[in-house]
Amino acid sequence: MMANRLILFLLIAGLAASKSVGSRQTEPHDSLRVDVSNLSGWTQVNPQPYYISSQVDIQCVAPKPVDYERVRKQNPHASTYITVFVNAAGSFAMFANPPQRFPKGTVIVKRKFDQSSQNGTPILSTIMIKRDAGYNPEAGDWEFAVVSGDGKNVEAQGKLENCMGCHASRRETDFVFRSYLPTKSRSK
């Protein structure tokens, strides 16, 4: 538990070294220091785990673990259940209808689980951190990060092309997917 907190603190502080996961990266930003290993006090956005399907799910044969590994290299959210958390800075914007821009300091954490790990350790977590205007204008000034499920390894951090490419389709919602919001909270 202490190791997870330390790793995630270093991630958010921008002090951890990172390696590429098929994405261009830049140096992490280091102005926001927050420990995301303890999300008590944060807002859990979706009350039930939300399933994100992929092409693997509609194959004519039962998918194998290697199939999921392959598809998750392109989209870390594919074929997973997610539970999303937002810190106090971004809570109002997350539920705003119509959607509004998230304020600087917003942190969104998506914990990902596969079928077998829904009540245990996530298979990975992805993090979005809203930075100063001008940090990453191509993606709404968001910094992206991917952390191993056990919190011990920062797999990628910075202006990740893989993340930016997908989130670009959500410019109107400040680059944040909101399909996991409870139905009554979703924007029209």
Q: According to the model, what pLDDT value does residue 7 have?
A: 41
The residue type of 92 is F
Token pair 């959607």: residue = 99
Q: What are the pLDDT digits (tens) for 131-157?
A: 999 999 999 999 999 888 777 777 888
Distance, CA of 187 to CA of 173 (rounded, Å): 9
Give the distance, in angstroms, between the CA of residue 171 and the centroid of all CA atoms in the same chain: 16
**CATH superfamily, region 2-185:** Cytochrome P460 (3.50.70.20)
How many alpha carbons lie under 13 Å from residue 118 in its C-beta half-sphere?
Answer: 9
Residue 39 banded pLDDT, cuts 50, 70, 90 = confident
Lowest-confidence pick of 42-46, 84-88, 126-130, 149-153: 149-153
| Partner residues linked to 44 by β-bridges | 85
Question: Residues of the chain with pLDDT > 70: what percent?
Answer: 62
Distance, CA of 55 to CA of 141 (rounded, Å): 30
Q: According to the model, what pLDDT value does residue 19 have?
A: 33
SS3 96: coil
The residue type of 98 is P
Look over the chain and give the mean of its residue pLDDT values, rounded to a whole number.
Answer: 75
- Whether cis (ω within 30° of 0) applies to the bond prior to 103 is no
Cα dist from 7 to 12, 43, 83, 150, 157, whole Å: 9, 22, 20, 10, 13
The residue type of 141 is D
Residue 166 scores a pLDDT above 90: no
Residue 179 banded pLDDT, cuts 50, 70, 90 = confident
Give the distance, in angstroms, between the CA of residue 69 and the centroid of all CA atoms in the same chain: 17
